[in-house]
Structure 1
Amino acid sequence: MIDSLTLHLFTVAANAPVAGGEAGETGGSAIFMLLMFGLLALFIFATWRRSRKMREDVRKANEGAVVGAEVVTAGGIVGRVVSRDDERQRITLEFSNGDRIDFLLQAVQQVVEPVPGQESDIDALDQDQTDTDPTAPDNSDPR
């Protein structure tokens, strides 16, 4: 048999208002809404920035896919560009065994080996470094 105190506590708990349901407790829900809108704005900004960076990478890969460059397609196929048709948005890749296949220009994911005569970022870094031996003793006295 249920005693009267347990029955009274059960009815009080069942009739209690839901958290934030009181008219005087709207400050907590306002802060929560601001926090949720802030997180949503942060998520939208991060997504927009990531997609902009990806579009820029694709644009650079498409510009670098000129005749003579070695490229990697989105499927992981490596080949050398032998022809490019900008009107049809297609390139023809030649593989090491001599076979040739046409691909969409958008399938180019990265340029592995740029065409000679085009300066890459790696070449620019190599030119900035001097040809010094890092193991050669310097003439400074450590004392």
Structure 2
Amino acid sequence: MIDSLTLHLSTVTAAAPVAGAEGGEAGGSAIFMLLMFGLLALFIFATWRRSRKMREDVRKANEGAVVGAEVVTAGGIVGRVVSRDDEHQRITLEFSHGDRMDFLLQAVQQVVEPAPGQRPETDVTEADQPDIDPTAPDSTDPR
């Protein structure tokens, strides 16, 4: 009796149709695979672009961390660069109360105020602005 039951189960499972064996479903799985590879490629491209932009920002911050510049470290510490050692990749920051501390050059996250003489040409300072009295009456015609 057990042998006949085993024989019956093996014939039933052999006769069962296999999922996906029909011709219409093969095209759907190919489209799904192309969609998955497309999404993977899009994800890789977006990650590559973001990392390239971050490397460029770090490079600009490291180049701007010259003696006299005010910088912010990755830990949020603000200080003025008093010395820079490119050989050992270190800078010394001085804080508002006069204390000094050494940091790795890679810790510089942002240049808040460039060193004197290092300002970009496009910046407009207060000395370049004409003297305008904000309390003077407006002489423009509203028509």
Deviations 1:74-123 (A, max 9, x none): 01111100000001000000111111111000000000111121224xx7
Q: Secondary structure at the match of 2:122?
A: helix
Is 1:83 aligned to residue 83 of structure 2? Answer: yes
Deviations 1:30-51 (A, max 9, x none): 1101100100000000000000
Q: 2:4 is matched with which residue?
A: none
**Within 5 A, what are the aligned runs for 1:1-143?**
15=16, 17-18=18-19, 21-24=20-23, 25-120=25-120, 124=122, 126=124, 136=138, 138-139=140-141, 141=143
Counterpart Cα distance in 2 of 1:66 and 1:56: 17
Q: TM-score, normalised by structure 1?
A: 0.75
Cα distance, 1:126 vs. partner? 3.5
Q: Secondary structure at the match of 1:63?
A: helix
Q: Secondary structure at the match of 2:109?
A: strand
Give the partner amino acid of 2:72. Answer: V
Counterpart Cα distance in 2 of 1:138 and 1:36: 61
Q: Secondary structure at the match of 1:35?
A: helix
State the Cα RMSD in Å: 2.6
Unaligned runs of 5+ in 2: 1-11
Counterpart Cα distance in 2 of 1:92 and 1:125: 27
Q: Secondary structure at the match of 1:139?
A: coil
Counterpart Cα distance in 2 of 1:106 and 1:22: 58
Cα distance, 1:139 vs. partner? 2.9
Higher gyration radius (CA): 2
Q: Percent identity?
A: 75
Counterpart Cα distance in 2 of 1:43 and 1:82: 42
Q: 2:5 is matched with which residue?
A: none
Counterpart Cα distance in 2 of 1:88 and 1:68: 19
4+ long deviations beyond 6 Å: none
How many residue pairs were aligned? 122
